[in-house]
Structure 1
Amino acid sequence: MAPTKTITRPLSGVPVGLALVRDAEVLGAEPFFHEFIAGIERVLVPRGVPVLLQVVATVEQAGERIRAWAAQGQVQGTILIDLLPGDERVALVKELGMPTVVVGDPVTAGGLPTVWTQDEVAMHDVVVSLVEAGHTHLGHVAGPAHMAHTIIRSRTFDAVAAEHGARATTFEGDYSEAAGVRAVAALSGDDDRPTALVFDNDVMALGALHEAHRLDLAVPGDLCLVAWDDSALCQLAEPPLSAVSHDVQALGELVGDVLAEVLLGRTPEPVLAPPATLVPRGSGLS
């Protein structure tokens, strides 16, 4: 169900807050959040509502920041993203009566308004495409294992691979370039290694591509690489990286629209964003 696009009533000029749990170095290299926030601002800033971003190291610190914002009246609403199963932030914003939109699956959101990117649909399509291309051993370089959307992607990856008779190997990552390097280094000496790797972001995929070049592994001849979240980094790589692509700024706009509804006292139904689609390029599947 798509949110209404005809909101005209002015909103309070008090900011909305996004307490983002991320390593600052990783965030600086990751294009996703720059585009995501730009999309949110495209909707809310013309309404007089700025976005207040706070980068923190832990979920506990994010909760402390949200509580402080509420106590000091610094924000009129929040955006929650990268939640954990049973995430304490869900209970916190309910306790505070803080208008909130969750970017994640409705189950994890615990009844809060949500925008969900249907990651299970995109992962299903990627695995099927790799199997149809002849890959029988697939690798998934996942994001942080405790995040709810990582769990959904990983479970889907394993289930669809098994359904199609393919082996599945998972490497835990942290969205950093180094995680992609580690994954390729770990499998480089294995004669039974995966022939295709799916990464949970573009930065890890780029690290893997650089390490593959260093180890003289041909991409895509020896190793097919697929990034999650397309970006200019993927498109300018050599070879260009195949990617699971969606319009991240449009996703941000959708979140901004839903949050505007919530700030006006409405309770929108969960919104399903269009699932990401696979864009084949030179790193495999092209």
Structure 2
Amino acid sequence: MGQAQRRVGLVLARASRVLGEEPFYHEFIEGLERMLTPAGVSVLVKVVTDRQAENETYERWAERRRVDGVILVDLAADDDRLALVDRLGLPAVLLGAPSAASGLPTVWTDDAGYAREAVRFLAGRGHRVIGHISGPPSLVHTRLRQQGAQSEAEALGVTVVQAEGDYSYESGRAATAGLLPRQPTAIICDNDLMALAALDTLRDRELAVPADMSVVAWDDSALCQLATPALSAISHDVAGIGEIAANAMLDAMAGKPPAVYQAPLAHLVARDSTN
């Protein structure tokens, strides 16, 4: 059909409760649409519960020619989606590490480097034991953040203790409670929701932030800025990442060779939750 009929598909395999609460993908989609809509391309978003349902969606979309390309997020180790989209002939753009992208166009954020920056920031303020509440360990970006945090801790002579969540508020509460017996004086959380959960859990335990515990969030948002105390955060231009992914998608749909697209640089914003 005409150019106005072109569509880009984005499948999110996450619990709907997390997706409804977490600002990241709302901002990312806003950035996508900002660039794709003027080019006559719409964004088709589908939320599914697991990776199998995600793969079935790509197969159905390809069979029915519903989309002209897809954006892949939450890359896993040995991710079978890379071979699948190739077999289906779907142009694809990946949000993730170029080392795991199998030659697909990639929008890259330096997860390991920003984790090192967060540990360096806290160690510079005298923290010797730092908790890190990560996302699911099956995800490549989780492993990169864990490795970055651990390598920086070793270089600085401090300790990072790990706990895992799934980006939900509930998992953040459970992970924070699990870290407390290991006596960290600061906690890095891999998204804003888990950081809010950490604040509430510490308040319930009558631990003052930042006097007793400093907290840093990954993904700055209005939630971080409005929290009490306001959360220090690694601030990404998420809508800007969406814009870059959209341009990478337009390049892929036009048949241009794959490239690595650098996401806008993030920076750590210090607020009242750290001392």
TM-score class, shorter-chain normalisation, is over 0.9
How many residue pairs were aligned? 274
How many angstroms apart in 1 are the aligned matches of 2:30 and 2:86? 27
Return the match for 2:58 from 42, 59, 66: 66
**What is the CA deviation profile of residues 143-196 of structure 1, one whole-angstrom value per residue up to 9, with x for unaligned ones?**
0110010011011111111111111100010001112211222244x3x51111
**What is the CA deviation profile of residues 219-273 of structure 1, one whole-angstrom value per residue up to 9, with x for unaligned ones?**
0011100000000000000100000001110110010011111111112421121
CA offset at residue 275 of structure 1? 3.1
In the alignment, residue 151 of structure 2 is paired with which amino acid?
A: A
Return the match for 2:124 from 105, 126, 132: 132
Is the 1:119–1:275 contact (alpha carbons within 8 Å) kept by the matching residues of 2?
no
- 2:19 is the alignment partner of 1:33: no
Q: Which residue of 2 aligns with 1:122?
A: 114
Q: Which residue of 2 aligns with 1:239?
A: 229
How many angstroms apart in 1 are the aligned matches of 2:60 and 2:93? 18
User: What is the correspondence of 1:103-252 to structure 2 with a 5 Å cutoff?
Assistant: 103-188=95-180, 190=181, 192-252=182-242
CA offset at residue 211 of structure 1? 1.1
CA offset at residue 88 of structure 1? 0.5
**What is the CA deviation profile of residues 8-40 of structure 1, one whole-angstrom value per residue up to 9, with x for unaligned ones?**
xx9552211011110000100000000000000
How many angstroms apart in 1 are the aligned matches of 2:43 and 2:264? 24
In the alignment, residue 6 of structure 2 is paired with which amino acid?
A: V
How many angstroms apart in 1 are the aligned matches of 2:210 and 2:21? 24
How many angstroms apart in 2 are the aligned matches of 1:135 and 1:23? 34
How many angstroms apart in 1 are the aligned matches of 2:61 and 2:191? 30
In the alignment, residue 83 of structure 1 is paired with which amino acid?
A: L
In the alignment, residue 202 of structure 2 is paired with which amino acid?
A: A
**What is the Cα-based RMSD across aligned positions, in Å?**
1.2
Q: Following TM superposition, where does structure 1 have runs of at least 4 consecutive aligned residues deviating by more than 3 angstroms?
A: none
In the alignment, residue 193 of structure 2 is paired with which amino acid?
A: V
Return the match for 2:260 from 246, 251, 270: 270
Q: Which residue of 2 aligns with 1:4?
A: none
Is the 1:15–1:51 contact (alpha carbons within 8 Å) kept by the matching residues of 2?
yes
SS in structure 1 of the partner of residue 5 of structure 2: coil
SS in structure 2 of the partner of residue 227 of structure 1: strand
How many angstroms apart in 2 are the aligned matches of 1:179 and 1:275? 28
Is the 1:119–1:276 contact (alpha carbons within 8 Å) kept by the matching residues of 2?
no
SS in structure 2 of the partner of residue 50 of structure 1: strand
CA offset at residue 52 of structure 1? 0.5
Q: Which residue of 2 aligns with 1:7?
A: none
How many angstroms apart in 2 are the aligned matches of 1:77 and 1:92? 13
Q: Which residue of 2 aligns with 1:47?
A: 39
CA change 1:246–1:68 in 2 (3 A) is same
How many angstroms apart in 2 are the aligned matches of 1:44 and 1:36? 12
In the alignment, residue 36 of structure 1 is paired with which amino acid?
A: F
**Structure 1 residue runs without a partner (length 5+):** 1-9
SS in structure 2 of the partner of residue 145 of structure 1: coil
TM-score normalised by structure 1 residue count:
0.93
Is the 1:18–1:78 contact (alpha carbons within 8 Å) kept by the matching residues of 2?
yes
How many angstroms apart in 2 are the aligned matches of 1:212 and 1:114? 38
- 2:73 is the alignment partner of 1:81: yes
More displaced 10-residue stretch of structure 1: 33-42 or 267-276: 267-276
Percent identity between the two aligned chains: 45
How many angstroms apart in 2 are the aligned matches of 1:251 and 1:38? 10
CA offset at residue 107 of structure 1? 1.6
Is the 1:118–1:274 contact (alpha carbons within 8 Å) kept by the matching residues of 2?
no
